[in-house]
Chains A and B, each alone.
Chain A
Amino acid sequence: MAFQAHAIIDSPAPLVAALKDAGWKVIAPVERDGALVLAAIQSAEELPRGRVDRASPGEVRIEDGRPGRWFDHTLPASGWKRWLHPPRHLLWRANRGRDGFELKTPPPETEDLAFLGIRPCDLAAIARLDAVLGPDGSADTEYMRRRRHMLSVVVQCARAADTCFCTGPGTGPRAEHGFDLALTELEIGLLVEVGSERGAGILERLPSREARETDIEEAHAISRKTAGMQRRRLPPSAAAAIAQAPDHPEWDQLAARCLACGNCTLVCPTCFCTDVEDTTDLSGDHAERWQVWDSCFATGFSFVHEGPVRTSVRSRYRQWLTHKLATWYDQYGTSGCIGCGRCIAWCPVGIDLTAAAEAIARPASPSPAPTGG
């Protein structure tokens, strides 16, 4: 590769400034209303410096961490998908004219977005979405148009939350490729790894110094330490077991605890399901078609021919877990889960996907006839 592979920078401030100068809108985690959320930032001052998140099932708190540390927090409350696969998106407008309807599609989104501070698991989530929403990498979909206007500055994780389990699926805590730049926060500054020509071009504009071999070793040691902090794991046998266990009694246990509120799917960085809504105005001369995030936890999601197919919470929870962990392989050749743990942390009642998968992967003890679903 022609570009310099590593360097050290003192702070992300010149990086944010350089990205903005180059015309990128910089999206990064910021602290708002007691949580980390993604927002457009104007300067590195807005980053949650010195703050960390403490996540456990159904509870996330932000608190003081080591002062001065830029990236000791872990994940924002929701995935980055909203910037590529927006929650509401206008598909077309129709206006009634003299000779019927005239269709108009909105101009494509061409804003250049720099994802600053995206974590390895969330970068892997985008690769999973690519397989779903832009399978040949060139499809002229809204998603792929946005995707081509995206730059990534990964932050390699220095901490794992209690809910993290990326080491199992192998999506973190270190990203090896797929990024433009990657940062690891060392004691002496930020180690920058270059992953693309474009990333090299950005690094050239920054005040930086050469990275030593020991800096690179320290970065890898940080990743190993972070991996070692993880306590949860998905059993490797989960995919096969779940696909073959539609009548496992554990589904009843899960259904009894599940609110069917859909939070898990909405914060999941790979859940992609949408509904289509048509609107008309009072005159009847103007109509619009919108694509809107949906969730398999809504009864209307499985509505066909005058009725929903999945009426019970049991059947909807089973659908979500089975698709995420098992049938996703059949469709896309990978798991739908990248181990970010948001569905565990942001479940209002703290249902743990890893525990659920483990319970189902265990052979069921003989049980009475299934309760249906």
Chain B
Amino acid sequence: MTAPLRLAVWKFASCDGCQLALLESGDLLLELAEAVEIAHFAEASSSMREGPWDLSLVEGSITTAEDIARIRHIRENSRLLVAIGACATAGGIQALRNVADAGAFAAAVYPHPEILDALETSTPVSDHVAVDLELQGCPISSAQLLEVITALLSGRKPQLPVEPVCFECKRAGHPCVLVANGTPCLGPVTTAGCGALCPAVGRGCYGCFGPLPGAVPAVLSQRLAELGLHRAELTALYRSFAAAAPANAEEAARHE
């Protein structure tokens, strides 16, 4: 019998919510623990074993010089590296500092900002090392994470949707909140995977699964402007969980 797959879970600048998506998998987590060797998962176990690892799941964005050294070490010792969540794939909500003065934020919050040693920007893992796969979401979907691990174990390609949230929304039978209520919704330009959670409760999509490749946010913005959104509101809409994803950054800047 071949050695079980060695799994490692890493945290950078993040809220831990994506690791929780794994911890929250219930019985499936027990099944996972039998199917793979969980070699490093600080949030779950104090037993942390050295690399090399077959699969590294990386949560969080790169915000310090130390982060850069650490992500390189992880990359060098991992066969596959999967960035999980909006922080790791797009810099997260903390990437708002990329378009502001991070020093001013620190001065406003900390009595002694000089003790901080952080980079000016919050950047995705892929800005620093090669990433084999990105899982979107704030937080990611447990089902998608398990799909990736399951696919890897069975030697097949994971099934991850490349379609807008609207597809999931309509399959679930929710009427369009934009059409029915004029609610601003990023669903048409956002990658599916969440199960249309926000439209399910009558809210517009916040875009936490990141921009859908090839989508056209300018068309949506024009419609939202017709519905009464001001330029500042449009900028704010694109500048949230995946603010630094290029499509969002560009669309937000266009309305500034």
Q: Residues of A with Cβ closer than 8 Å to B?
A: 32-38, 58-61, 77-78, 82, 87-88, 256-263, 266-267, 277-284, 292-295, 298-300, 311, 313, 345-350
Contact = CB atoms under 8 A, between A and B. Distances in A.
Contacts of B149: 282
Given A259-B219, A279-B159, A348 B188 contact: yes
Assign chain B's interface to a size class: 35 or more
A261 B164 contact: yes
Contacts of B31: 281-283
A282 B35 contact: yes
A280 B166 contact: no
A157 B187 CA distance: 33
Contact of B167 (A37, A38, A298): A298
Contact of B171 (A278, A282, A292, A350): A292
Interface stretch (B63-71, B103-111, B130-138, B177-185): B177-185
Contacts of B175: 32-37, 60, 77-78, 346
Contacts of A311: 214
Contacts, number: 133
Interface in B52-66: none
A34 B180 contact: yes
A346 B147 CA distance: 33
A61 to B, nearest CB: 8
B176 A263 contact: yes
Interface stretch (B76-84, B150-158, B240-248): B150-158
Contacts of B73: none
A86 B179 CA distance: 23
Given A282-B31, A282-B149, A346-B179, A262 B173 contact: no
Given A277-B159, A345-B179, 10 more contacts: A33-B175, A60-B175, A258-B216, A262-B170, A263-B188, A282-B28, A283-B31, A284-B154, A348-B188, A349-B223
A282 B150 CA distance: 5
Contacts of B153: 282, 284
A221 B59 CA distance: 66
Given A33-B175, A282-B31, A348-B188, A260 B180 contact: no
Nearest to B143: A279
A261 B162 CA distance: 12
